[in-house]
Amino acid sequence: MKILTVNINKGGPGKTTFAHNFAEYLAKKYRVLLMDFDDSANLTGRYTSDLAEENSITAIFDEKEVTPLTISPNLDLIGSDSGVERLKERQATKRRREYALGKWLAKNEDWLTQRYDYVIIDTENDEGILTINALIVSDVVIGIAEPSKDAAKALVALKRFVADLNDDFSAQARLYFIANRVNFSENASKDFLASLSERDDYLGYLPRRTVLGDDVAVINNPNTPKALLEQVETLFETIKTQLDKEAA
């Protein structure tokens, strides 16, 4: 079972859009568990508006019975809801709070590995306790950012944050970057890609397209242009290859 987490400490980069579309892409051939660690619950809202406690990440951190919600034959969800904000407050008083997710994964390793090939975690735009829990159990972390100076700074900060967590918790997460909402008619996009393309941890980009943000993933959307679908599939296969390599 391979674990990938999406994060950057900046609002609006397209984390949820990426997590949603990448999970749906993997679910075409593999068994996927999608987890929503963001208290906005935007990812969860793409699938359901009625989430039971047993289907929520609060059940993991409160050490209650967890039952992933079945979305499709190859895709399950452990979602987020309004209770996650209070969950973060409760975690602040707990000892070894950074290890709660890892503890749950270890306790349930047998049935998780039998049931899932991949776990995809969407986090909040922060460096908070839930995000830390996700990052230190991950094989790969994807930093996603749109073309802007603030995004470039956020990627640098994310690299430092992941490195610090790897040192502090003896974790082995490998960080890769992708660009999102790229528009080659704008100099900001061209300059941003030029700076990223020099890095060995840069994997590719997603263009600015409205269809990418739809509730229906591009891989399942009959309105997705063929060229866009091919571009997305190529990038996602590259990311999957790196994830498989790091988790080997």
Residue 99: CATH number of its domain: 3.40.50.300
> Based on the structure, what is the number of domains in the chain?
1
Domain hosting 23: range is 2-247
28-87 pLDDT, tens digit each: 999 999 999 999 999 999 999 889 999 999 999 999 999 999 999 999 999 998 889 899
3-state SS, the chain, equals CEEEEECCCCCCCCHHHHHHHHHHHHCCCCCEEEEECCCCCHHHHCCCCCCCHHHEHHHHHCCCCCCCEEEECCEEEEECCCHHHHHHHHHCCCCCHHHHHHHHHHHCHHHHHHHCCEEEEECCCCCCHHHHHHHHCCCEEEEEECCCHHHHHHHHHHHHHHHHHHHHHCCCCEEEEEEEEECCCCHHHHHHHHHHCCCCCEEEEEECCHHHHCCCCCCCCCCCCHHHHHHHHHHHHHHHHHHHHHHC
175-230 pLDDT, tens digit each: 999 999 998 888 889 988 888 888 899 999 999 888 888 888 999 999 899 999 99
- pLDDT, residue 148, reads 86
146-187 pLDDT, tens digit each: 888 888 899 999 999 999 999 999 999 999 999 999 988 888
